[in-house]
Chain A
Amino acid sequence: MAQKKYMLKGLLVLAVIATGLALPLMNTPSNVGNRLIVATTTSTADTGLLDYLKPYFDEKYSADLVWLSLGTGQAIAVAARGDCDLLLVHDREREDEFISSGNGVLRVTVMYNDFVIVGPPDDPANASGTDAIRTMRKIAESGASGGCVFVSRGDGSGTEALEKKLWESSSVCGFLLSGWYLSAGSGMAATLRVANELGAYTISDRGTFYKLKDSINESLSLVVICENDSRLLNPYGVVLINSSLYPNINSDLAQKFLLFVTSPEGQDLIGNYTVGGRQLFFPIYGQTEKIGLPREYETIAYIENLRKGG
């Protein structure tokens, strides 16, 4: 007699199938062995830089480089919980804070690129130039009289941090609730698209802006309004996380990654990476004074010492 499948059987079948499906998933924890988890910003992940570096690093150290593409704010929060092995971000103030609170042990500038202030081609605020402060003031003035709109990332990212700093230096305040200032709460590419739709101004890292421009050039009408101001420099730092606080992190491989990106080979690779014929990141390890930043003597000495020891 053909018996129907009853509950016990049914649940048993469910359990067996679920286990069968789940077993191949139950591999090793994500951050043991040779896997290195870098928490980084959308600007390094989404521009493809890490995709480019991965095979070189993986081969050299038999490693598996993976990354979490987050806003700087979330990246640092994730690191502060010990959920990644290394930070590669671009918000100097918060990086320093991370170090001084004891969560991080070392921070070094490895590369930079720069921000550009972009806006509609007709530049209604008449803000174009090479003085970021002037541009920001012009945008605020025009915005206050209804002449233009500014879109902010609004996601706690390093880009937003820079934007806030620029407003501060331009002595523009009280803009948060004004009609011309919109907070997108999104990543860089999404914010650029919002600004593009609205014919608005925004601040973007150069890499993401050109990457987007190349991939959807017909529909992205935004142009660069202001560039080449030292205030728009965007240095990227690698931060080693305090392994005595988080014994589970792969600090050994994290150190190797630090040595890799600061090595001549790593620095060359960064400099050689181009998108659509444009260089997006500029290696600057050990030469920060060249872009008007203080030289990082102690950190460099420490790293070079490590290199010799390894």
Chain B
Amino acid sequence: MGGLEIFIDGTIRAVEIILSGNPEIFQITLLSLRVSLTATLLGALFGIPVGYLVAIRNFPGKSLCIAVINTLMGIPPVVVGLVVYLMLSSDGPLGFLRILYTPSAMVIAQTVLTFPVTCGITISSIISLNPRLKETLVSLSAPRFWEAVILINEIRIGIITSFITAFGAAISEVGAIMMVGGNLLGYTRALTTAIVLYTNKGEFSMAIALGIILLILALFVNLTLTALQMHYRRHKG
């Protein structure tokens, strides 16, 4: 088959898979979605508070710290995969957890990837807030906790942006989950690792079909997040 035919065939197969609800592909898709969403949320759970503290506090080496976090946004997933693999490996310091080649390991690896994204975007959003906001909070005697509540509320559009970026990075990466998930059939096989497998097998149209499904999935998640973002923006008037 020529390139164009493979693409057309792949599109047809994607439609077939979606319409027929192929249970194997459905399971793979669900795993991808679940792992990447969990990783995005966990990344935010750690990234937002850490990012907030880094942005709000003054400490020696703050610039370096921010630069490191921003650099980590660009870390190759396969490096994260290798590091997490070595941690979770039987011989590794966290080997006792016995979670290598499980979806949990995939979540951990992707959380390492999404954390700097949420953290970095939180930092830059907080830093670019009007400094008078903080002063107003001081003047109104806001305790630290409430100061955080209000400032983080101010950057919620930025936080949704970080969700979109982090989820995009997670759902599309293959290096990390291949390494720590192992692409085990029916267990840790995700869309991206399945795409690599089909490509290696030379079954290009199936790989294209899964690629299309992945894009559709990402589109739906992003539509939801963008709608939320628009909602907030509209409320700002």
Q: Is there a contact between chains A and B in the complex with CB atoms less than 8 Å apart?
A: yes
Asked whether A25 lies within 8 Å of B182 as measured between CB atoms, the reply is: no
Q: B5: nearest residue on chain A (CB-CB)?
A: A218
Asked whether A14 lies within 8 Å of B41 as measured between CB atoms, the reply is: yes
Q: Does A173 contact B (CB under 8 A)?
A: no
Which residues in B have their C-beta under 8 angstroms from that of A64? Answer: 186
Q: Shortest Cβ distance from A53 into chain B, in angstroms?
A: 12
Q: Shortest Cβ distance from B110 into chain A, in angstroms?
A: 12
The interface bits of chain A over 185-228 (1 if a CB of B lies within 8 angstroms of the residue's CB, else 0) are 00111100000000000000000000110011011000000000
Asked whether B188 lies within 8 Å of A30 as measured between CB atoms, the reply is: yes
Q: Shortest Cβ distance from B178 into chain A, in angstroms?
A: 9
Q: Shortest Cβ distance from B207 into chain A, in angstroms?
A: 11
Question: Of A18, A37, A211, which one neighbours B42 at CB under 8 angstroms?
Answer: A18
Which residues in A have their C-beta under 8 angstroms from that of B35? Answer: 25
Which residues in A have their C-beta under 8 angstroms from that of B236? Answer: none
Range for the number of chain A residues in contact with chain B: 35 or more
Q: Shortest Cβ distance from A155 into chain B, in angstroms?
A: 12
Specify the main secondary structure of chain B where it touches its partner. helix
Q: How many A-B residue pairs have CB under 8 A?
A: 127
Q: Shortest Cβ distance from B26 into chain A, in angstroms?
A: 15
Which residues in B have their C-beta under 8 angstroms from that of A211? Answer: 201-202
Interface residues of B in 190-235 (CB under 8 A from A): 197, 199-204
Stretch at the interface among A4-12, A131-139, A298-306: A4-12
Q: What CA separation (Å) do A271 and B41 show in the bound complex?
A: 49
Known A-B contacts A69-B197, A248-B98; A25 and B38 likewise in contact (beta carbons under 8 Å) = yes
Q: Does A178 contact B (CB under 8 A)?
A: no
Specify the main secondary structure of chain A where it touches its partner. mixed
Asked whether B184 lies within 8 Å of A21 as measured between CB atoms, the reply is: no
Which residues in B have their C-beta under 8 angstroms from that of A66? Answer: 182, 184-187
Can you spell out 24 A-B residue pairs with CB atoms less than 8 angstroms apart? A7-B149, A7-B152, A10-B152, A10-B156, A17-B41, A18-B45, A21-B37, A21-B38, A25-B35, A26-B103, A30-B100, A30-B101, A30-B182, A64-B186, A68-B184, A187-B200, A188-B200, A189-B199, A189-B202, A190-B200, A216-B204, A248-B95, A248-B98, A249-B90
